[in-house]
């Protein structure tokens, strides 16, 4: 799910860096699902779970594993009024055929009674003519969503539960079965009904055994108004003609494969689809959307079949063996990025619809990779499904892996194999650094905990671990193992051990250079949080390797891993080509020694960053690497290893393992490096520094002045006047360099942006699509004319293309006018403003992240409007993510002490303290960083410590309604109020989700 921008979930995914100006609110995928969750989310979920329990009788959110459903017959009726603003009710009946493996005195299944009103319940057994009305013996737990029927059932008997109910479409969030709307070309408001069941919301649409292991087949019938169209997972039945009765059209669908409830989907709308579906092995592939967007379907229509063919070839299990059609549909309101419903994949419009004139190359890539992510799920998740949400990385890790590598197979010139390293692997390494982070496989009980597993760990770390295993095994053996895994477990559920067992049958121990089974090798990577730091020390010609856990606190732990070590020396002929493990570091074992060849001048570990770990060298080895990087062609050091060196250096300094002055000396080679892959982590590293010290501070100005000449060659290598949209990496690099040059107030860059924007206002000529987001943002940031902001807002109101609307929403927060920013945020609480519920979080993050001034504005807005925000911000987990991002701004001991005092004086249970401590962890890390490194940076930049290193932000127009903190951060009054709200809102926000 959610390639999270993604959620699949995704706080906010700044796809390249916060300066690139193209913000995404889902995964990444994140991809689609979403995503990027900090560990604090899991603690919020745990708090919600425990608050709802009593010490005497802990609640059980799971069904007994005794049920074996095998067929659902679902019949839903939607009157015409459902597709108006006034009515949301539909009628339903579901018959569930099932058996049990043990005798029982009860039957349990899931029903969310906020949306379903059960009318009657009948139970019958095969061979028994009479049905038993068991309605009266039915009870409900509205916390666990479990409906209990008190009736004896026996092993060896097949039963049918027949349940009649009234359903209600949700209009308060975008989960379960919900209503969406859009304005058509004539200005009329049109309504549709659509679904988002993952992870635990099928129970909102019909009674069911709503856990992934309870797979069954589904016969679906939808009765809809004659002017509407119904889509579901399978084709319309050819044996049951459509019948119109009392103005409603009865649509029957073919029986589905055996599948989990969370993959069922219905969409009832007036949408249409591509007229001539592409055919891949007799599978009809269609792109569906509102009719006004039909001209933007071409890219998805083109790339989808190519990706599907690539996956067919890789898995050697053709999609047409279990599905006869593939519809991909753009939904106007969608909480995630996309959802892999089998045969009917749903998307946010911006993740499926692309306009060659007005959508950027980055957005084109985003659509291709999100499609690849969702189509990979058709095998990894749909055909073979994890047993429970604890192991969601088996779904999302593989989808993230193929999101890049299947698209790379189709479009190798995009170099997505390299992009995977700087986007996914390094993103996960930067995230997985706190003591409180949970492992890939961790306990899940409640619906909230299930949602919290859709995070950076499941997506990006999961995908990175699978890539590491691929390089340990070799690509061909890894592929053969996955083919066997899918074939062995098709239509069933798995746990990680099932995967390791089959992969182990295909591993060549001579190639992998290890004498352990794969389940032993991989165990710590899956069941323990974090990752290792490998330290290399030179003594003579011997390099000694040791390992410890890499933590943001800088304090390593006893956690250790089987670490595959590939390496390259200066004398190797095919440098960095081989990624097979040459030696292994083992848990709880003696250090490993590598003998350097005579006359070798340097060694670099972890070729092409295939292992999920960081590396630190002693001073001698760093000095030798430094000398190599200063030579022609950087000593033939691979650009991915240059990216690795840069990212490791910045994070070694961040954790006080190295001085920033040393880092700056070692990365001086960047002045000659114009590789997109070197500069992506470099900008991430500098962005962290600027965010922490404040861009407008004296120290921030010094860092900016340091970066400007360092990136001169990069900026000159992609001149503004030279566009090359057919070269993907050039276009991405140009957008990256241009955005940073303008952010650092490069005069030529800012002037070009302002000129382009002036021409746009004057004659309607839009800036180049790949540079447009930077032009918009830079022009507003440097504008003294509120009319510039009003013009762009009006352009947003008129725009019908989702990618353009997203670009504008992200840019509007760049303004330095407090009044406009406050107005912008308040628009998100106004249902008639034109800002969709799915985009409200994007607006908040735009204001918060685009300039220092926005921090105050965003904090006040959250404090003053938290009740309405919880109600109206409907993107999945958006309120919690807002809190997390604000918590990252707390950087003084006074703030931390206030939070501690608030916790100590509270009458709540220990779980309250758990949530508060998660926020304290973040704040303390920020405080430690400031205390440890500001002096070092001031010394490096020769800034006198007697002079304030920061200055208050200024505005170009509009009143400032609070006194700026002298340290350039959020005002103390606002921060105090924000702290008092953090824990309250964090817990309440979880109640609003379920």
Which residues sit in the known binding site?
373, 377, 396
Pairing relationship of beta strands 493-494 and 385-386 according to DSSP bridges = parallel
- Sign of the CA dihedral 487, 491, 492, 494? positive
The Cα 690–Cα 744 span in angstroms is: 11
The Cα 834–Cα 846 span in angstroms is: 17
Q: Confirm if 272 and 228 have CB atoms less than 8 A apart.
A: no
What stretch of H or E contains 300?
helix 298-315
Give φ, ψ of 521 to 5 degrees.
Answer: -65, -40
DSSP state of 460: I
* Residues written for the chain: 994
| Residue 329 β-bridge partners | 288, 346
Query: Which tokens hold the place of 807?
Result: 């670009």
| Residue 208 β-bridge partners | 110
Q: Confirm if 684 and 430 have CB atoms less than 8 A apart.
A: yes
DSSP states of 160-205? EEEEEEEEE-BSSSSSEEEEEEEE-TTS-EEEEEEEE-TTTTGGGT
Radius of gyration of the chain (CA): 28
Query: What is the CB neighbour count within 10 angstroms for residue 103?
Result: 12
Q: What is the dihedral of CA 194, 195, 196, 197, to 10 degrees?
A: 180
The Cα 497–Cα 504 span in angstroms is: 10
Residue 564, classed as helix, strand or coil, is strand
Residues 6+ apart with CB under 8 A from 418: 639, 640, 677
Q: What's the gap between Cα 245 and its chain centre?
A: 44
**C-alpha distance from residue 824 to each of 23, 491, 786, 819 (Å):** 17, 48, 13, 9
CA proximity to 22, closest of 346, 423, 609, 464: 423
The Cα 752–Cα 740 span in angstroms is: 14
Which of 22, 108, 374, 470 is labelled catalytic? Answer: 374
Q: Give strand ranges (E) for 586-677.
A: 592-595, 603-605, 614-617
Query: Which tokens hold the place of 305?
Result: 């079949």
DSSP state of 737: H
Q: What is the dihedral of CA 841, 842, 844, 845, to 10 degrees?
A: 120
Query: What is the CB neighbour count within 10 angstroms for residue 662?
Result: 17
CA proximity to 880, closest of 973, 794, 988: 988
Residue 401: burial class (beta carbons within 10 Å; 0-12, 13-18, 19+)? buried
Query: Which tokens hold the place of 331?
Result: 């939904």
Query: Which tokens hold the place of 335?
Result: 């909480």
Q: Is 516 annotated in the active site?
A: no
What stretch of H or E contains 803?
helix 802-812
Q: Confirm if 821 and 847 have CB atoms less than 8 A apart.
A: yes
CA proximity to 93, closest of 108, 112, 73, 78: 73
Q: Confirm if 36 and 432 have CB atoms less than 8 A apart.
A: no
Helices 910-940 and 39-51, interaxial angle, to 10°? 160
The Cα 783–Cα 607 span in angstroms is: 47
The Cα 643–Cα 421 span in angstroms is: 9
Residue 278, classed as helix, strand or coil, is strand
What residues are annotated to the active site?
Answer: 374
């Amino acid at each position: 799910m959610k390639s999270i921008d993604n959620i699949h979930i995704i706080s906010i995914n700044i796809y390249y860096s916060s300066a690139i100006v193209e913000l995404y609110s889902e995964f990444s995928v994140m991809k689609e699902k979403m995503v990027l969750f900090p560990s604090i989310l899991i603690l919020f979920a745990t708090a919600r779970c425990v608050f709802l329990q009593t010490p005497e009788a802990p609640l059980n959110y799971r069904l007994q594993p005794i049920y074996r459903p095998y067929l659902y017959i679902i019949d839903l009726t939607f009157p015409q009024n459902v597709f108006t603003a006034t009515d949301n009710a539909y009628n339903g009946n579901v018959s569930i055929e099932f058996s049990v493996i043990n005798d029982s005195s009860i039957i349990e299944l899931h029903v969310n009674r906020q949306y379903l009103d059960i009318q009657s319940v009948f139970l019958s057994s095969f061979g028994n003519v009479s049905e038993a009305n068991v309605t009266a013996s039915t009870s409900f737990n509205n916390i666990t969503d479990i409906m209990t029927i008190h009736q004896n059932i026996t092993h060896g008997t097949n039963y049918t539960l027949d349940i009649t109910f009234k359903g209600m479409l949700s209009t308060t969030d975008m989960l379960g079965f919900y209503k969406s709307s859009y304005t058509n070309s004539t200005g009329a408001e049109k309504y549709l009904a659509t679904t988002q069941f993952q992870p635990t919301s099928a129970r909102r649409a019909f009674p069911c055994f709503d856990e992934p292991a309870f797979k069954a087949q589904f016969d679906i019938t939808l009765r809809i108004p004659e002017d509407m169209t119904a889509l579901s997972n399978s084709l319309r039945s050819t044996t049951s003609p459509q019948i119109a009765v009392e103005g409603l059209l009865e649509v029957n669908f073919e029986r589905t494969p055996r599948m989990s409830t969370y993959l069922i989907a219905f969409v009832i709308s007036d949408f249409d689809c591509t007229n001539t579906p592409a055919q891949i092995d007799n599978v009809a592939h269609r792109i569906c959307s509102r009719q006004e967007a039909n001209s933007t379907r071409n890219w998805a229509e083109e790339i989808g079949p190519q990706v599907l063919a690539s996956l067919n070839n890789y898995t050697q299990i053709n999609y047409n063996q279990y599905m006869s059609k593939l519809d991909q549909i753009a939904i106007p309101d969608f909480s995630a990025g996309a959802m892999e419903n089998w045969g009917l994949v749903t998307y946010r419009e911006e993740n499926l619809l692309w306009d060659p004139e007005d959508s950027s190359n980055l957005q084109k890539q985003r659509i291709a990779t999100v499609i690849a992510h969702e189509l990979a799920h058709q095998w990894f998740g749909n055909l073979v499904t994890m047993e429970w949400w604890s192991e969601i990385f088996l779904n999302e890790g593989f989808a993230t892996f193929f999101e890049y590598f299947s698209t790379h197979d189709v479009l190798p010139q995009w170099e997505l194999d390299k992009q995977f390293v700087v986007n996914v692997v390094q993103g996960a390494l930067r995230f997985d650094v706190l003591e409180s982070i949970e492992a890939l496989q961790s306990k899940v009980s409640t619906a909230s905990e299930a949602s919290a597993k859709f995070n950076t760990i499941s997506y990006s770390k999961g995908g990175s671990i699978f890539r590491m295993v691929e390089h340990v095994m070799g690509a061909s053996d890894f592929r053969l193992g996955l083919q066997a895994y899918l074939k062995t477990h098709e239509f069933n559920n798995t746990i990680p051990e099932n995967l390791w067992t089959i992969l182990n049958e295909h591993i060549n121990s001579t190639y992998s250079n290890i004498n352990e089974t794969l389940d032993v090798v991989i165990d710590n990577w899956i069941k323990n949080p974090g990752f290792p730091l490998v330290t290399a020390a030179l003594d003579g010609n011997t390099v000694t390797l040791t390992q410890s856990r890499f933590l943001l606190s800088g304090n390593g732990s006893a956690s250790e891993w089987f670490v595959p070590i590939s390496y390259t020396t200066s004398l190797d002929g095919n440098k960095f080509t081989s990624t097979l493990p040459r030696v292994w570091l083992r848990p709880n074992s003696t250090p490993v020694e590598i003998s350097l060849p005579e006359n070798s001048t340097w060694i670099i570990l972890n070729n092409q960053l295939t292992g999920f770990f960081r590396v630190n060298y002693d001073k001698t080895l760093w000095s030798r690497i430094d000398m190599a990087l200063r030579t022609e062609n950087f000593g033939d050091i691979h650009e991915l290893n240059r990216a690795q060196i840069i990212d490791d250096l910045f994070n070694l300094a961040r954790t006080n393992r190295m001085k920033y002055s040393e880092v700056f000396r070692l990365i001086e080679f960047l002045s000659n490096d114009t590789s997109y892959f070197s500069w992506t982590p470099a900008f991430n590293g500098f962005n962290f520094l600027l965010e922490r010290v404040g861009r407008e501070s004296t120290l921030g100005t010094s860092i900016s002045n340091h970066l400007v000449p360092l990136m001169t060659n990069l900026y000159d290598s992609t001149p503004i006047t030279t566009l090359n949209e057919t070269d993907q990496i050039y276009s991405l690099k140009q957008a990256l360099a241009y955005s940073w040059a303008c952010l650092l107030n490069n005069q030529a860059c800012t002037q070009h942006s302002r000129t382009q924007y002036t021409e746009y206002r004057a004659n309607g000529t839009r800036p180049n699509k790949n540079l447009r987001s930077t032009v918009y943002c830079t022009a507003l940031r440097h504008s003294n004319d509120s009319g510039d902001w009003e013009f762009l807002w009006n352009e947003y109101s008129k725009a019908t293309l989702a990618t353009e609307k997203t670009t504008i929403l992200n840019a509007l927060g760049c303004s330095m006018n407090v009044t406009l920013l406050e107005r912008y945020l308040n628009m998100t609480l106004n249902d008639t403003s034109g800002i969709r519920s799915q985009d409200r979080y994007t607006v908040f993050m735009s204001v918060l992240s685009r300039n220092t001034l926005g921090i105050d504005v965003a904090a006040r807005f959250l404090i003053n409007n938290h009740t309405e925000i919880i109600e109206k911000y409907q993107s999945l987990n958006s309120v919690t993510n807002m809190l997390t991002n604000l918590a990252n701004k707390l950087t003084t001991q006074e703030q931390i002490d206030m939070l501690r005092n608030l916790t100590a004086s509270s009458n709540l249970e220990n779980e309250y303290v758990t949530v508060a401590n998660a926020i304290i962890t973040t704040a303390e890390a920020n405080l430690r960083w400031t205390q440890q490194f500001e002096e070092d940076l001031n010394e490096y930049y020769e800034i006198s410590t007697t002079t304030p290193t920061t200055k208050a932000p200024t505005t170009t127009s509009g009143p400032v309604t609070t006194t700026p903190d002298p340290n350039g951060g959020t005002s103390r009054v606002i921060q105090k109020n924000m702290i008092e709200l953090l824990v309250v809102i964090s817990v309440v926000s979880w109640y609003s989700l379920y």
